[in-house]
Structure 1
């Protein structure tokens, strides 16, 4: 299936995993690959069984390369599970699923990290080998980790999200760096590029997927100062999260579960907020300029249509006129 590309300049997208990857895939089909750069969340990254795992980056990689599991949205299509079956027989640390094909990626990434290569360089090479033509970058080469303060104490993201299945009540979120965390230089260069037509926040969890990216020192300021307009697509439709624990988390943190809350969360740097058509009445409760669109993406055509619409909005409103 092919689509006519949006004519114009470069775009930069900021995304978490499954939810954001839907729009990222639409952008990948709507734009020439050389005109698209996608920044992936690193707050979910962790070491498990001696392997360095990057769940959100890998979900984007699998989605854009066409090998993602279409039902789950994460992991690989037609995966096999021999490794996990044996691990359950001989060990007790099998709560995080690693398919056999997925395991190969983690082994190769870890091997090269131990050899001294940088994360972004490793993943750029693997991205190319998997046939993805756009630029896909981690927010930083240095680790930054998401932790949640909960009714069960402070939990790292994967423990909260996977092992505990988001059941503990969340009372706060923290981001902890390990070493000198800085944005990848290519990200900062892209954000300041006069040829950048737009910056798109994909509909990922604002608190667990987008905020870790914004927590990388300098990135939020770079977004504010960029010559390109910043457009965010709401991950909340009619008071419900499209994917994941967003609604539960917002309620536990004392926030109204609505697209308006998300818009307020981004208000200091977003120029335009895209609401779903069902939330049109919320426009009066949001200080950020808003437009409505069909944001629920159930098919590839939905993803491409929304991507084209958002790109066209960015081109029409460019900060430099």
Structure 2
């Protein structure tokens, strides 16, 4: 099976780790292949007059090699003098600290947006600064922000995620503006023309789920001739990173690798998956998933470094070949 055109639907930090490992694999073993990453934009927000795009930035910084490996987000070598000044003026969210280098990105983005450029063109300009080795696309140019329904009212996803640490029970998720959105230029075409489409081990509700919720994207995934392979973000009943379990609980899906695969569904039954990778700890789910019409395989899914992550990506490409 040809793997010259690889498309990845991804969220932020976990998606960035996966794409970095995939890029290492491609550079080593598939030098003629190209990678297009369609990134979640549901976490985006206006803050202190600036447009902040957390997942796009996590992907860009990680692929550029300038991300903070210790914190897992933001730029390496950050200072936070500007955020301290904003807090002193009572502007922004004091618990949502933006580093000074990161603020430079947000200022540049906001300036370009106010000059009339769509987000996809802004992403292209910003990412041209570094040799990312991938084509990075936002899921949509329109503002589609994810809000969380709680007993205390609606909160922007970032407020629920960062300020409350997802401790406030979520009753549901709302993507404001999604009904008026369209896939960003190049997204549907990349999916249509792909040789393989991968769903990164990102949050299936507010990352991959939000991407698939943009009108036209789910339809493109279902219609592509390419095999669609997902990787589980859950190992042995626990999330690998973040608080995706709180998101899954809100929509009635168990924190379980097989349950997430069934949530995405098989393409043969109106879903999006042809194949699904689970960790070896969840190997017992393979047979039942195959019976449900989803080709499955158990392989190590811990993204401990680029080599381990590249091996995961290679397993996904092999599964696509089945």
Q: Say yes or no: TM over 0.5.
A: yes
Trace 1:174-185 onto structure 2 (pairs within 5 A).
174-177=174-177, 180-185=180-185
Counterpart of 1:170 in 2: which secondary structure? coil
Counterpart of 2:281 in 1: which secondary structure? helix
Match of 1:238 among 236, 239, 251: 236
Trace 1:221-236 onto structure 2 (pairs within 5 A).
221-236=219-234
In 1, Cα distance between equivalents of 2:33 and 2:180: 30
Q: Tell whether 2:64 aligns with 1:59.
A: no
* Residues 49-68 of structure 1 deviation map (CA, whole Å, 9 limit, x = unaligned): 00001000000000100011
In 1, Cα distance between equivalents of 2:121 and 2:32: 18
* Residues 129-177 of structure 1 deviation map (CA, whole Å, 9 limit, x = unaligned): 1221310000011111111111222212112112222121011112121
Quote the residue 1:29 is aligned against. Answer: 24
Quote the residue 1:3 is aligned against. Answer: none
Quote the residue 1:107 is aligned against. Answer: 107
Say if 2:4 and 2:33, in contact at 8 Å, map to a contact too: no
Taking a change above 3 Å as real, the CA distance of residues 7 and 199 of structure 1, as seen in their structure-2 partners, is closer
Say if 2:40 and 2:56, in contact at 8 Å, map to a contact too: yes
Aligned residues: 309
* Residues 279-313 of structure 1 deviation map (CA, whole Å, 9 limit, x = unaligned): 00122443222111111111121112212222233
- Structure 1 residue runs without a partner (length 5+): 1-5
Q: Tell whether 2:160 aligns with 1:165.
A: no
In 1, Cα distance between equivalents of 2:246 and 2:143: 27
Say if 1:275 and 1:293, in contact at 8 Å, map to a contact too: yes
Residue 19 of structure 1: how far off its partner (Å):
1.3
Q: What is the root-mean-square deviation of aligned Cα atoms in Å?
A: 1.8
Counterpart of 2:195 in 1: which secondary structure? strand
Match of 2:15 among 5, 12, 20: 20
* Residues 77-114 of structure 1 deviation map (CA, whole Å, 9 limit, x = unaligned): 11111112222333263221110000000000000100
Say if 1:43 and 1:146, in contact at 8 Å, map to a contact too: yes
Q: Tell whether 2:247 aligns with 1:249.
A: yes
Compare 177-186 and 298-307 and name the one that shifted more. Answer: 177-186
Counterpart of 2:259 in 1: which secondary structure? helix
* Residues 153-206 of structure 1 deviation map (CA, whole Å, 9 limit, x = unaligned): 22121121122221210111121217831112311111221xx22000000010
Residue 7 of structure 1: how far off its partner (Å):
8.0
In 1, Cα distance between equivalents of 2:244 and 2:49: 30
Say if 1:34 and 1:134, in contact at 8 Å, map to a contact too: no
Quote the residue 2:277 is aligned against. Answer: 274
Say if 2:64 and 2:131, in contact at 8 Å, map to a contact too: yes
In 2, Cα distance between equivalents of 1:238 and 1:136: 31
